[in-house]
């Protein structure tokens, strides 16, 4: 989060300095044009398209540094949380079939303690649930099932941790964009009132600045919504594998007790 904030501050500072540089360059060029003598009229050429980063910089400046910076902050923090969750969920994913095979072999060859060692040395929520169930092997199958169910809820909460922050940024980003739109429209009407006349330039300029913030907020919300849906699908897949593996573990324990 700290690195994200530092990156946002650096991004804003670079755009501010670039804007100052562009204004100085424009002033210098205007002075040069005033000094040079009149020459033949140049042949008109089609304006070249600006690079993507320059267009983004221009839109950021025109949209207003205040609201655009807050929208970008939502994107940065939302991406930070989403990337952290993606890494955590990928590390939490386990090949349950392989783990069940190892636990079954250890249970048949070395008993419950050997199965505990296998679960202890395997990362992921499935192995943790197995270990909690094997800890209560001596108390009967019912206690094993209760332990698996209780600890499964704990693991599910850990898998879903942080997702509420992503939904918060998804909701805040378009709201900030709409707020910037409303404020931009108010400023446009203030300009019209001061001018005493409805000028197309004043109206178009105010509406353009207002709509840029809305577009920025919607783009941020779309990006974070895609990541959020991916995270939800990932969590659902892990939870489903946990439930299937837990049922298999209980069947395995019952079979071992009946030997």
What is the reported pLDDT for 61? 59
What is the reported pLDDT for 221? 94
What is the reported pLDDT for 53? 56
Per-residue pLDDT of 11-65, as tens digits, reads 444 544 444 444 434 434 443 334 344 444 444 454 455 566 565 555 555 656 6
C-alpha distances out from residue 252 to 95, 129, 148, 195, 236, Å: 17, 14, 14, 82, 24
What is the reported pLDDT for 243? 87
Share of the chain above pLDDT 70, in %: 69
User: What is the rounded average pLDDT for all residues in the chain?
Assistant: 76
The domain locations on the chain are: 96-160
More confident residue, 150 or 224: 224
What is the reported pLDDT for 251? 85
What is the reported pLDDT for 52? 60
**Cβ neighbours of residue 247 closer than 8 Å, sequence gap 6 or more:** none
Per-residue pLDDT of 87-114, as tens digits, reads 999 988 888 888 888 888 888 888 888 8
Per-residue pLDDT of 121-173, as tens digits, reads 888 888 889 888 888 888 888 888 888 888 888 888 888 888 999 999 999 98
What is the reported pLDDT for 37? 42
Lowest mean pLDDT among 72-86, 147-161, 189-203, 235-249: 189-203
Phi-psi region of 19 (alpha: psi -120 to 50; beta: other; left: phi over 0): alpha
């Amino acid at each position: 989060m700290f690195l994200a904030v530092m990156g946002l501050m650096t991004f804003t500072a670079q755009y501010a300095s670039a804007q100052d540089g562009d204004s100085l360059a424009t002033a210098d060029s205007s002075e040069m044009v005033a000094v040079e003598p009149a020459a033949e009229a140049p042949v008109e050429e089609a304006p070249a398209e600006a690079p993507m980063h320059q267009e983004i910089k221009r839109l950021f400046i025109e949209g207003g540094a205040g609201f655009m910076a807050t929208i970008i902050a939502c994107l940065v923090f939302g991406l930070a949380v989403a990337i952290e969750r993606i890494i955590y969920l990928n590390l939490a994913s386990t090949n349950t079939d392989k783990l069940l095979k190892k636990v079954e072999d250890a249970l048949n060859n070395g008993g419950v303690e050997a199965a505990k060692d296998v679960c202890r040395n395997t990362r992921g929520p499935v192995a943790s649930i197995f270990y909690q169930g094997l800890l209560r092997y001596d108390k009967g199958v019912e206690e094993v099932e209760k332990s698996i169910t209780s600890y499964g809820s704990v693991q599910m909460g850990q898998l879903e941790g942080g997702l509420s922050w992503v939904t918060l940024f998804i909701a805040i980003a378009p709201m900030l964009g709409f707020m910037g739109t409303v404020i931009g429209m108010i400023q446009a009407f203030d300009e019209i009132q001061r001018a005493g006349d409805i000028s197309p330039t004043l109206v178009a300029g105010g509406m353009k600045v207002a709509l840029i913030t809305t577009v920025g907020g919607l783009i941020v919300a779309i990006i974070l919504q895609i990541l959020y849906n991916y995270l939800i699908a990932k969590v659902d897949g892990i939870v489903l594998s946990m439930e299937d593996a837990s049922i298999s573990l209980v069947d395995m324990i019952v079979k071992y007790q009946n030997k």
